[in-house]
Chain A
C-alpha cells in the first residue's frame, strides 16, 4: 500500500484516498507550438524503473493536487511537495541523492 503525506492537510493518506494523475512538471505546449512539441506534451511520458516524479490529487480529502517523488521499483517515497513548483525542490533532490548517489538527476 502506497502512503503519501498530503502537503496541504498534513494527513498520511493511503492510495485509496488519492488519485494518481501521471507525470509531474509537464510543460504545456498549446496553440502556436510546433507539431513535435505538441505531440510530446500530449503523448510522450517517462516510464522510469526507479526514481519518478508524479502528480497526485487528495481526492477524498482536501481535493488539492500535489507532487510526490517516489521509486517505481521499491515503492520508496522520497517526499511530497506543493503543486505550485515547476521542478522538484532542493530538499527532495537531496533526499533522492542521499539514497541514490548514482542517480542522474531530474530531467
Chain B
C-alpha cells in the first residue's frame, strides 16, 4: 500500500498565533440513530467516550466523538487504528440502520494555538466563537468553505475541513493570524 500523506505534510505558520496542520489524523463518520443503545455501546467500546449531547464533543481513552447532526457522529481517532475501528463498528452495528466510513484521508485538521486563538477563528467564521466553551463543537463555515471546530482548551482551537480545500483553509488562517492583524490584543 502507498504511504499516507497529509494535505500539507504538517506545515505550520507562526503569526500572532501559531497555525499548524496536524498531519495524519484518523477520522470516522458514523451515521445512525444516536438514541440507539447499541450505537452508544459500539461508540463507547471503540473510543472509550460516552455519547455526546447536541453540539458537544466527548473524549475517551482511544479517541474523541463529536456530535455533527441529529444522526451523525465524527470519531477522531489514531490514523493507524481507523480501519480496524470501522470494521469493529460495522460488526457491532450489524443489525442497526447505521453506517461507519473511514474518512481520514478526506479531511484536514488544523490547530490554532495562542492566547488569541478564538479571535483568529472568529475572524473567518460567522459563529459566536467567544461563547464556545471547551467540549462544544460547532459546525459552520470559514470564509467560503464548511468547517467544524472546537476549543481543546482556552488557548487551543482544533479545526477540521475537507482535504480538497485544505490549502485554502491554511492560507486563510495564515492570513487571519498575520502579525499586525490583532483586534483586541
Contacts and interface: CB of A to CB of B under 8 A. Distances in A.
Interface residues of A, number: 15
B133 interface: no
A11 interface: yes
A10 B139 CA distance: 12
Interface string B114-132: 0000000000001110000
Contact of A10 (B54, B140, B146): B54
Given A14-B126, A17-B126, A9 B55 contact: yes
| Main SS class of interface, A | loop
Contact of B128 (A10, A12, A60, A64): A12
A17 to B, nearest CB: 6
Interface in A14-28: 14, 16-17
A58 to B, nearest CB: 8
Interface of B: 54-55, 68-70, 72, 126-128, 138-141, 146
